[in-house]
Chain A
């Protein structure tokens, strides 16, 4: 059994008077990719923010390597857990390479200058993510997808045993989605623990070892993709009807019901045309 690196126990959270999390239990192990699914507003991002210590839960415990998150200093947390946010808006024209190098901040000495090794780590990450040609371009001039790749590279160079990704592929095309998830796969194989929030059920089923479905403030289901992605779970979490097919290797494929081609469209009753 792999090492348990991050654990949520009965975590409760209220935000703006709304009860977002109502007793969430979730564990993350070294070497695995855990996909966190759920409807908009289900509390996925809140859970990631709680894990990094920037948001304190109202109740429950969050443990990092067995110790409560609150016992770590900010600098200690930054060397253990990295978060790639959904979107960040940078107000100044930093070159993309500089943004990536900022990920080395938790490892820098007092003067705050990157060593040759820090620079090499950042360059390697840009290479791996496939954004080396963006290095000198201002972050203000990059597209949403390019900015997302820069943020992912920044998360990689932080070189933490735990990596949290908040919808890392939302702005990416399919080729880049697959590329990023393969990269993350490699990190997990090398022993890192990865928690990824996603709305792409297909890719989540393909690349995650386990999935957890957040709904109504609880973890509705957690387990293998086949265990979690069932029509009844999808109906409860997203309020949709869906058929779940199987790929030849057993990976579930979610097919939402709808007015698909080849089926009689359900048109509302129309008033008869007036003469």
Chain B
């Protein structure tokens, strides 16, 4: 199959099935691995015949601790990874990523505002995801307004704006947390670095719904994302209603990022690493890249979280530290290559 051959439904199905198998494998690994390693056969028995073995400590570990966390990790990873693809298509820049651009930071700030001051207004934890969504969409709109103008944003202005947004968001988060007394304990630290250590079932369901809604809106637009890569005017001349597609992308990414950040904090670089890796493996065609990124992002974050839980004997790392350690260098490598191609500024 040469790079020149067109995407067929068969090839699409094949790639997605392979990624699905990888997802099953990483999910199984996540259930087996941890401070207490469980034999694969026992994990399988617990999963299949849950009731027979419930009450046993191993069953509690699998069903109450590892499985919820595995599900949350997969859904957050998928959301962040697809958001990365969409931001890259929207801004026509492979360096775009919700974390790098400060959109995740905006979402976190929205969430923290509700956590810190929402109680006084009668807002409960349920108000955190909508606030995070508002934070991410406000930041994304601000990003267009500040770094925008017509056509393709230069990488320099995009990244500088993102850096500043991130600095402002982190400062504001710490500020809000100090004012409201949230800084006691480690919760604020976990928000800032990103962690999957406190999954709530309702939250997982919400993020899953947002992810599915986002994918349902965006996947049918996938070919239009390819056309957008030719430039907004060329896409328009090929029949794309550019403004409509941009609105859909913006809404979908803000929903997914807001939901993901509201449950896991600032997990960075997933949206950069996975789309880049998949473009190398399966090509840039968005009809394949969008669903493949969802599966790939899920696999990646599940594996990272498994590492976070097992690397440190007797303790755990925030998963955001692991994704940042993996993604930071890759980002620098991509930036370096863009400079080499004279694509900057």
Known: A91-B92, A108-B223, A112-B222. A158 touches B238 (CB 8 A): yes
Q: Which of B227, B237, B343 contacts A52 (CB 8 A)?
A: B237
What is the interface residue range for chain A against chain B?
Answer: 35 or more
Known: A85-B231, A94-B226, A94-B229. A54 touches B237 (CB 8 A): yes
Chain B interfacial residues counted at CB < 8 A: 37
Q: Is the CB of B279 within 8 A of A92?
A: yes
B9 on the A face (CB < 8 A):
yes
Q: Is the CB of B4 within 8 A of A95?
A: yes
Known: A74-B241, A102-B226. A113 touches B236 (CB 8 A): no
A–B complex contacts, Cβ < 8 Å, 29 sampled: A54-B233, A74-B240, A85-B234, A89-B231, A90-B230, A91-B93, A91-B152, A92-B94, A94-B285, A96-B4, A98-B6, A98-B285, A99-B230, A102-B230, A103-B238, A105-B223, A105-B227, A105-B238, A105-B240, A106-B238, A112-B222, A113-B6, A113-B7, A113-B9, A114-B6, A119-B6, A135-B2, A138-B3, A140-B341
Q: Is the CB of A106 within 8 A of B4?
A: no
Interface string of B212-235 (1 = CB under 8 A from A): 000000001011101101110110
**How far, in whole Å, are A49 and B231 apart by their CA atoms in the complex?**
14
Interface string of A35-68 (1 = CB under 8 A from B): 0000000000000010011100000000000000
Q: Is the CB of A89 within 8 A of B287?
A: no
Q: Is the CB of A79 within 8 A of B4?
A: no
* B239 surroundings in chain A (CB, below 8 A): 74-75, 77-79, 105-106
Give min CB distance, B248 to chain A, whole Å. Answer: 15
* A78 surroundings in chain B (CB, below 8 A): 237-239
**How far, in whole Å, are A92 and B91 apart by their CA atoms in the complex?**
12
Pairs of residues from A and B, 4 with the lowest C-beta to C-beta distance, nearest first: A78-B239, A112-B223, A135-B4, A92-B284
Q: Is the CB of B93 within 8 A of A95?
A: no
Known: A89-B152, A91-B152, A94-B284. A136 touches B230 (CB 8 A): no
